[in-house]
Every structure is written in C-alpha cells, then in structure tokens.
Amino acid sequence: MRFIGGVQPPDAAWRGLACMAGSWQLLGFSMFSVLRRDTGEWIGRLGPWHPGGAEGSWPGDEIGWALRANAMGQGFAQEGAAAAMDWAFDHLGWESLIHSIDSANVASIRLAQRLGSELQRRQHRMPAPFQDVCCDIYGQTRAQWRARQRGPGIL
C-alpha cells in the first residue's frame, strides 16, 4: 500500500471502489478482484486501468496491480497481470500498455520486466489528482507481447 498512497480511510476506500465500478459502466473495463481459489479471500486487484476522462491525461492504457502483503511473492500478480494483458490486447484492442511504478518499488519493477515491459520514461509526473506523484513508466506494444516465446513456465 505504501506505493499507492497507503492505507485509506473508509470514505476514500469507498470512492475508490465506486470509481472501479463506474469505470466498468463508463469504459467497459477496470481492474479485476483477485481471490484466492482455495479460500475465496480477496487479496487485491489488478488489470486494465485508465483513469481520467480527458484524452491524454493519463500516460497510457495501463495494466496495474496491487496485492495484500500476505499474497505477495506467490505468483498471483504475474499470472493475473499476464492474463489481463492478453485480455486488454484481445478484447479491448489496445495497441500498447504501460505500468506506472514508483522507482522504489523494486518488486513491481521486476514483475514488469518479467512481463516483458521496458522502462520508457523516468520520473513522469502524473496528472491530477496525483500531481504530486512521479512514477517510472514501463510498457510494451501488442506486437512485443505477442512476439514473446511462450512455453511451460514462460509467460
């Protein structure tokens, strides 16, 4: 949570939830909830994200992830992000995608790289209401994603 603004008070969490639900209605996509198959426990969210209504206000069509600490390091983010990338390219018709990552978030940087994304911009200032946040932007095109070798254990 420290890389996406920290733990939020209930009113802010509610606004975030409403934003996700509203994005599904307005844009036809948003992040997916991630549930543990064995317990049904909610462990986070990941997937397509493009906040802001103004064209060009967000740095690109994004696949993001945020998982609870007790779910990290178990492959959930990698498996889910790869599936979300397939879905965004196949069903949303995206030509490219990004991941906005805090430069101190080493785990997310490594995940982006394992997914085949490369650093595109350093310390990009995000649009309002995140104007005080700078992120490194990683990304790739649909063609780059499709050209990756696929096989057992390889995304």
What is the C-alpha separation between 134 and 61, in angstroms, rounded? Answer: 17
The length of the chain in residues reads: 155
At residue 47, the pLDDT reads: 95
Confidence at residue 126, expressed as pLDDT on a 0 to 100 scale:
85
pLDDT at 106: 94
Distance separating alpha carbons of residues 33 and 107, to the nearest angstrom: 20
Q: Are 141 and 152 in contact (CB under 8 A)?
A: no
Task: Choose among 142, 54, 45: nearest CA to 92.
Answer: 142
d(CA 36, CA 28): 25
CATH class of 2-147: alpha beta
In tens digits, what is the pLDDT along the chain, a chain of 155 residues?
A: 444 455 556 666 556 665 666 677 788 888 898 999 999 998 989 999 887 655 568 899 999 999 988 888 899 999 999 999 999 999 999 999 999 999 999 999 999 999 999 999 999 988 877 788 899 999 999 999 999 866 544 55
Cβ partners under 8 Å of residue 8, min gap 6: 16
Distance CA 96, CA 105 (A): 22
pLDDT for res 119: 98
Q: Can you spell out the DSSP letters for 39-106?
A: T--EEEEEEEE---SSTTSSSS-EEEEEE-GGGTTSSHHHHHHHHHHHHHHHHS--SEEEEEE-TT-H
Report domain extents, the chain.
Answer: 2-147
Q: What pLDDT, on the 0 to 100 scale, is given for residue 132?
A: 86
**Residue 133 in tokens:** 């946040």
pLDDT at 3: 47
What does the block give as tokens for 6?
């920290």
pTM: 0.82
Task: For residue 41, report the phi and psi dihedrals to the nearest 5 degrees.
Answer: -65, 135
